[in-house]
A = this chain, B = another copy of it.
Amino acid sequence: MQVVRTIPELRKIVDQWRKDGLRVGLVPTMGGLHSGHLSLVQTVKSISDKTVATIFVNPAQFAPHEDFDTYPRDEKTDSDLLIGEGTDLLFAPDTEVMYPGGSDTTLNVGKIGTLLEGEFRPHFFSGVATIVTKLFMQCLPDVAVFGEKDYQQLCVIRQFSRDLDIPVEIVGCPTLREPDGLAMSSRNRYLSPEQRQIAVSLSRALEIAAAKFSQGIEIEMCEMMAKQELLNAGFDSVDYIAIRDAETLLSLTYASTSARILGAATLGKTRLIDNLSV
């Protein structure tokens, strides 16, 4: 696996692949890799000739009170995991490469970025959209994969890529889960053993709410019961539990063809999110 840290190096290698007629796939991550990320690499490898992974903890998507400083950073471990999957190239820039002095442009993703996570993390999706656009422009992959674990992020990336006509195919991959159902997340490592036991109730509450909704119980009731379950289980607060249109993330309408249930809740200092198809 080649490791590059500058945009010209990245472009030189990818340009050559493109000239050779190879299809290039990108897996953008913030490092802290777990099996979920590795499944994204496997997906890219199955649909591309060359696989580029990136690890960069993007300051623009953290608010000052969030966990930017403590977010897991261990390039050696990440790198070994990527080599194990047969990744061709690791792009690991530093902050000065990604945000040189004077950087001032951001993307505004519109309505979809203001909902759900956007209510609690107002600058989050603008930060995500800006860095993902930059990675797309730096690498110009044919395809990029993102996990459904960050479902709203996937919707946002689809939205701005379509709106700006970015010529990159966006592929979503199913969430990987621990045996008890907890969605894999780089932030799970923050959890104490006791919190880890409580954490599983997030996926369980979403499953139960989805089942109730399918049985015809009204949305507000399903959402409220799930919230109460999380608080009973030991979560400190619940930001939202919401059953929404799976594409727009707005309230369901008669035009909705599929639905998604999404939730966010906090356990100590750790904020967890999860979602399921309904």
Instruction: Name A residues whose Cβ lies closer than 8 Å to a Cβ of B.
Output: 7, 11, 103-112, 126, 129-130, 133-134, 137-138, 140, 159-160, 163-167
**When A and B form their complex, which 3 residue pairs have the shortest distance between CB atoms, in order from nearest?**
A104-B110, A105-B163, A137-B165
Instruction: Output the least CB separation between A189 and chain B (Å).
Output: 31
What residues of chain B lie closer than 8 Å to A166, measured between beta carbons? 137
A104–B163 alpha-carbon span in the complex (Å): 7
Known A105-B160, A105-B163, A130-B164; further 18 A-B contacts with Cβ < 8 A: A7-B165, A11-B167, A103-B163, A104-B159, A105-B108, A105-B109, A105-B110, A105-B129, A105-B159, A105-B164, A106-B110, A108-B126, A133-B164, A134-B165, A137-B164, A137-B165, A137-B167, A138-B165
A134–B130 alpha-carbon span in the complex (Å): 15
Instruction: Output the least CB separation between A8 and chain B (Å).
Output: 11
What residues of chain B lie closer than 8 Å to A106, measured between beta carbons? 107-108, 110
Say yes or no: A164 contacts B104, CB within 8 Å. no
What residues of chain B lie closer than 8 Å to A160, measured between beta carbons? 105
Contacts A/B (CB < 8 Å), 5 sampled:
A104-B159, A105-B110, A108-B108, A134-B165, A138-B165
Instruction: Output the least CB separation between A136 and chain B (Å).
Output: 9
A159–B101 alpha-carbon span in the complex (Å): 12
What residues of chain B lie closer than 8 Å to A164, measured between beta carbons? 105, 130, 133-134, 137
What residues of chain B lie closer than 8 Å to A140, measured between beta carbons? 167
Instruction: Output the least CB separation between A156 and chain B (Å).
Output: 9
What residues of chain B lie closer than 8 Å to A133, measured between beta carbons? 164
